[in-house]
Amino acid sequence: MTPNVVALTIGDPNGIGPEIAVKAAALCADANDGTSVVLVGDDHVIRHYAAVFGGGRPLLAFEEQNPDRHTLRYHAVDALPHDAFQPGKGCADGGRATVAYVEAALGLMAQGQARSIVACPHSETNVNAAGIKFSGYPSLLARLKKVPEDEVFLMLVGAGMRIVHVTLHERLHGALDRITPTLIERTIRTTIEALRNLGIDRPKLGVFGINPHAGEGGLFGDDDDRIVRPLLERLKAEGIDIEGPVGADLMLGLGGFDAFVAMYHDQGHIPVKLLAGRNSAAMSIGAGLMFSSVGHGSAFDIAGKGVADPGPVLRCIRLLAGASEFKESVAS
């Protein structure tokens, strides 16, 4: 397997995903930096956009020999009916195709033909309209990988931060009930493994408290002293470089951490989305995954108009291609 083959799924085929995927693949082909991109999606959709945005580069099936590094490579997935391909018009068929592309990319990884996956924007509405339960990539990927959903976690990356979530898309009351030492420990160990895969050999983690001020010594609840603190003391005794629990507002202002661990959705999403916006990347980690999706939507209003920016997709590709590119993208 080529070490840095990235399977780039085109996202919802009627959104901006195919356009920015082809643009990003063309830029990567010209860069010649050791990273190879294979587009994953319907043949007729990829050909349509490659003809417009491929800059005249040849388009070749991934399974065929590649005579020229400037060639755009693709892996065809027969998922979207031809009459359902209508840029700018979201539909259930587009949602169903989005998931089919991701499943095909996972197949490439399982066969050793790709090292990682980057997904272009999806429509949660269209995926659910297709009858596929979807509340974010971590739970979907866990189902596709046939592992428990609490073995795949979300790491948001942007504005110099990496934040991993213990719980994600669920009612806050239910999320708090599910926060246990076991789930927090699984999140921490998965985070450490992911950071090592990105070239950070000895990561330092900061763990947010559950309550404001991490409970303030019992003034705002005993959850942090009862659930979080004993676990972190045990992990420190193992030699893991970790601090907390500390209130999220205070810990975010401290430097020197390679990643933070947030207890629930908004603790992690608000700082990254506020500071990085659409330039953030969403990584799914755990279960052997190296998966990232862009931090913006399908933008059906501009689909097919040639104005969509491939920059966030390129950041995701660099993020998964290796630690040096990752550090550069965080600093920019």
What is the pLDDT at residue 229? 97
| φ, ψ dihedrals at 280, nearest 5° | -80, 160
What is the pLDDT at residue 30? 81
Q: Please, which residues have CB within 8 angstroms of residue 121's CB and are 6 or more apart in sequence?
A: 11, 12, 15, 16, 17, 293, 294, 296, 297, 298, 299
69-83, 206-220, 318-332: range with lowest mean pLDDT = 318-332
What is the pLDDT at residue 7? 96
Q: Is the pLDDT of residue 103 over 60?
A: yes
Of 185, 187, 186, 167, the closest CA to residue 177 belongs to: 167
- pLDDT-above-70 percentage for the chain: 94
b/e per residue, 290-320, with b = 16+ CB within 10 A?
bbbbbbbbbbbeebbeeebbbebbbbbbbbb
Q: Beta strand pairing status for 289-294 and 281-286?
A: antiparallel
Of 208, 195, 186, the closest CA to residue 269 belongs to: 208
Q: How confident is the model at residue 328 (pLDDT cuts 50, 70, 90)?
A: very low
What is the pLDDT at residue 66? 65
Strand partners, 157: 162, 281
Q: How confident is the model at residue 3 (pLDDT cuts 50, 70, 90)?
A: low
Q: Mind listing the domains of the chain with CATH numbers?
A: 1-148+287-332 (3.40.718.10), 153-277 (3.40.718.10)
Does residue 12 contact residue 98 with C-beta atoms inside 8 Å? yes
| Exposure on the CB side of residue 156, measured as CA atoms within 13 A | 31
pLDDT average, residue stretch 254-262: 95
Does residue 111 contact residue 104 with C-beta atoms inside 8 Å? no
Q: How far is CA 91 from CA 81, 101, 122, 133, in A?
A: 12, 16, 11, 15
Q: Is the pLDDT of residue 312 over 80?
A: yes
pLDDT average, residue stretch 262-268: 96
Does residue 77 contact residue 10 with C-beta atoms inside 8 Å? no
Mean pLDDT, rounded, of the chain:
91
pTM reported for the whole predicted model: 0.86
Q: Is the pLDDT of residue 326 over 50?
A: no
64-68, 92-96, 162-166, 304-308: range with lowest mean pLDDT = 64-68
Q: Please, which residues have CB within 8 angstroms of residue 257's CB and are 6 or more apart in sequence?
A: 204, 205, 206, 243, 251
Q: How confident is the model at residue 327 (pLDDT cuts 50, 70, 90)?
A: very low
Q: Classify 25 as helix, strand or coil.
A: helix
b/e per residue, 132-160, with b = 16+ CB within 10 A?
bebebbbbbbbebbeeeebbbbbbbbbee
**Of 331 and 270, more confident:** 270
Does residue 306 contact residue 53 with C-beta atoms inside 8 Å? yes
Does residue 20 contact residue 12 with C-beta atoms inside 8 Å? no
Of 23, 268, 249, the closest CA to residue 136 belongs to: 268
Q: Is the pLDDT of residue 268 over 60?
A: yes
pLDDT average, residue stretch 290-311: 92
Q: Is the pLDDT of residue 313 over 70?
A: yes
- For the chain, where are the E strands, in sequence order? 5-9, 36-41, 59-61, 72-76, 116-119, 153-158, 161-165, 204-208, 241-246, 259-262, 281-286, 289-294
- C-alpha span between 259 and 243 (Å, rounded): 11
pLDDT average, residue stretch 7-14: 97
Summarize pLDDT for 27-82 with one digit per residue, the tens: 988 877 777 899 999 999 999 999 999 988 989 998 887 667 778 999 999 999 99
Does residue 208 contact residue 262 with C-beta atoms inside 8 Å? yes
Look-up of token digits 């920019």: 332
- C-alpha span between 177 and 41 (Å, rounded): 39
Does residue 242 contact residue 207 with C-beta atoms inside 8 Å? yes
pLDDT average, residue stretch 257-280: 93
What is the pLDDT at residue 176? 94
